Each structure stands twice: as C-alpha cells, then as structure tokens.
C-alpha cells in the first residue's frame, strides 16, 4: 500500500513539472488539519547579487506536513519578484496556494515569513535600472566589493508592511489563523500573468518531501535545516506578458517595462523538486475569495516598528 501511495505522489510530481511555466495557474492542496507554526531561523547570507530570497514553508506530503527550507534563487528574468505560497482556510479545510514569479508581489495570506515578506507585499528590495537592490534592514547580504548601490536601508517600508505574528501562525483564516484580506494592490498583482517555480525550486521541494527528517511528526515542528545557504540553480525565462503596467505601490515593487531573461549563471545546486498531494487540482491562481476569519483576539495588527526573524 505504501509503495502505491509513493508511486502516485511521484507521478503527480512529474506531471506538475511538465506544466509550462508561462501557463502556470497555481496548485491547490486541501488538508483537514492546520499546518505547524513557522520555525524561527536565521537567513543565510546572500552570496552574490541577483539572487532572490524564497522563504521556507510547510508543504504536505505522504506522511503529513514537511518543511521546505528557505533558499536563495536566481531571478528567472530581469524584474522578477517572488510571491510565497500560503495556507488558507476554506470550506472547513486548509488549502495551499502555490507561490509564483511575477512583476509584483501578490497576496500571500498576510503570513509574516520575515526577511522582507512581512505579511503585506515585499520590503526586502527593489529592481533599479536592471539590477536588484537589497534592503539590508531585513535582508542578510554580503559585505565588501561587488555590492555598491545594490544595498540600501529602508525601515519605513518594513514598518508599513509588517503584520504582527508573535505566535508564528502559518495560515490565513480559520481557528486562530491570520486575519488579512487581499488589498486592492494585492488583488491586482494576483491577476497578473505569472511564472511557476523554476525546475530547481521544484527539485528543492521534492528533496524535502523525500527527507524523513523534514516531516513535522519527526522533528516536532522544528526542522533541523530551516534554510539552505547554497543557492539553487539558475533558470532563464522570458518575462510573462504583463497585463497591468501600474506604478509602484508600497510593498509591491514596480518593474520597468523592459523585463528580459537573465543569462543562465553556472550556479550548481543540490538535486531537489516539487511535491503535492493527490488531492491537488489546478485552478485559476491565486485565490480571490476572502477566507473566513478568526475571532477578534486572533487578529494580528500592524506593528509600529520593524520586525525581523
């Protein structure tokens, strides 16, 4: 029985890898019980310019929830920004909405993943003149030559976009969940054309699914490897056709009209990939319905000062 269940998961992973990135519509996963709280960890130093931080998250596999470590990923095209996936409460189930690449950071449930993803938009950096500049107020970047104007400090945007989550809840809505509905800017970004996670991100998630120690029932919700320091491999894509060239908004970094593929860099990566349970199904991404909300005492609020991990 276990063999057939594993085979079914492997087949599902292979099918997902065949979906063209430009036609990415999102992957939805339904689970009857809540994911564990987010672990607290230190972000590895960004080893070189041009890498984007993708925060770790709880995914669901054959043996329950497992942790996919945070990782630095080369941007698939100039101007690309990563919107993390998130768990939301809907119809009595916890539903996972997959992450994606796009011209702006969209809705990710108000989950404060830290390191720029403070719950609303993205405070970790911005594209400037074809290069990505890092906000060192929340991003852990290298020092020395090569960074120059690629590093700046902006604590104001962190204050504006932080949602307090002292209990490190990892899902939106439902009992005890985060209460944050999509803002108009987030809804607009949700409807733009997106790219799926790169094949290296898919491999990274698959490796976590097959790692016995990554499962919450083994590590008690405290994964040993919450983040990896070695960047994932580079994958160059053409930018998706943007259907909304709006201006910059707080927490959603504007991308110039000239978004072109980045040259593939020779960054090696471990053999990692995508995982999703058999209950998943493709739907228009990302979700546009409001999740049911927790009681008032569960509602996080914007804090008055920066909050990092």
- Residue 266 counted as domain residue: yes
pLDDT at 148: 79
Average pLDDT over residues 250-254: 44
Query: Please, what sign has the CA dihedral across residues 52, 56, 61, 63?
Result: positive
Q: Tokens for 260, please give them.
A: 């072109």
Percent of the chain scored above 70 by pLDDT?
Answer: 67
Give per-residue pLDDT as tens, 130-159.
899 999 999 999 766 668 789 999 999 999
Give per-residue pLDDT as tens, 190-247.
888 899 999 999 999 999 999 999 999 999 999 999 999 999 999 988 777 654 444 3
pLDDT at 240: 73
Q: What one-character-per-residue DSSP string does 21-88 give?
A: GGG---EEEEESSPPPPPPP-PPPPB-STTEEEE--EEEEETTEEEEE-BEEEE-SBTT-EEEPPEEE
Q: State the chain's mean pLDDT as an integer.
A: 76
- Please indicate whether residue 80 or residue 14 has the higher confidence score (pLDDT): 80
- Residue 151 counted as domain residue: yes
Range of the domain at 27: 2-289
pLDDT grade, residue 183 (50/70/90)? very high
- Residue 173 counted as domain residue: yes
- Residue 256 counted as domain residue: yes
What is the C-alpha separation between 93 and 120, in angstroms, rounded? Answer: 23
pLDDT at 66: 98
Query: Please, what sign has the CA dihedral across residues 236, 238, 243, 246?
Result: positive
- Residue 111 counted as domain residue: yes
- Residue 307 counted as domain residue: no
Give per-residue pLDDT as tens, 281-306.
333 333 333 333 333 333 334 433 33
Percent of the chain scored above 90 by pLDDT?
Answer: 58
- Residue 301 counted as domain residue: no
pLDDT at 242: 53
What is the C-alpha separation between 124 and 115, in angstroms, rounded? Answer: 6
pLDDT at 238: 79
- Residue 298 counted as domain residue: no
pLDDT at 143: 67
pLDDT at 161: 94
Tally of structural domains, the chain: 1
Q: Are 146 and 79 in contact (CB under 8 A)?
A: no
Does pLDDT of 168 surpass 60?
yes
pLDDT at 113: 97
pLDDT at 181: 94
* 0.85 exceeded by pTM: no
pLDDT grade, residue 32 (50/70/90)? confident
pLDDT at 241: 65
pLDDT at 193: 87
What is the C-alpha separation between 160 and 304, in angstroms, rounded? Answer: 8
pLDDT at 30: 72
DSSP 8-state symbol, 257 = S
């Amino acid at each position: 029985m276990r063999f057939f269940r594993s085979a079914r998961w492997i087949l599902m992973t292979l099918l997902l890898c065949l979906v063209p990135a430009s036609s990415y519509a999102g992957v939805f996963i339904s689970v009857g019980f809540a994911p564990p709280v987010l672990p607290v960890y230190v972000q590895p130093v960004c080893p070189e310019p041009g890498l984007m931080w993708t925060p770790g998250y709880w995914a669901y596999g054959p043996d329950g929830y497992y942790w996919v470590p945070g990782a630095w990923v080369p941007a698939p095209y100039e101007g690309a920004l990563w919107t993390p996936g998130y768990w939301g409460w809907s119809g009595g189930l916890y539903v996972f909405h997959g992450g994606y690449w796009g011209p702006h950071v969209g809705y990710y449930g108000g989950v404060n993943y830290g390191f720029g993803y403070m719950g609303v938009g993205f405070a970790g950096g911005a594209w400037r003149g074809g290069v990505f500049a890092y906000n060192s107020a929340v991003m852990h970047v290298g020092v020395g030559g090569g960074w120059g104007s690629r590093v700046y400090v902006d604590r104001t945007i962190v204050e504006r976009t932080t949602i307090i989550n002292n209990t490190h809840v990892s899902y939106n809505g439902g009992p005890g969940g985060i209460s944050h509905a999509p803002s108009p800017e987030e809804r607009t970004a949700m409807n733009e054309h997106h790219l799926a996670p790169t094949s290296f991100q898919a491999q990274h998630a698959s490796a976590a699914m097959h790692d016995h120690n990554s499962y919450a029932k083994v590590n008690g919700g405290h994964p040993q490897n919450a983040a990896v320091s070695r960047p994932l491999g580079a994958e160059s894509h053409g930018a998706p056709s943007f259907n909304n060239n709006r201006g910059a908004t707080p927490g959603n970094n504007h991308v110039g009209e000239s978004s072109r593929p980045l040259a593939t860099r020779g960054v090696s990566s471990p053999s990692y990939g995508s995982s999703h349970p058999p209950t998943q199904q493709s739907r228009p991404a990302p979700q546009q319905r409001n999740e049911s909300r927790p009681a008032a005492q569960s509602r996080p609020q914007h804090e008055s000062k920066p909050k990092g991990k």
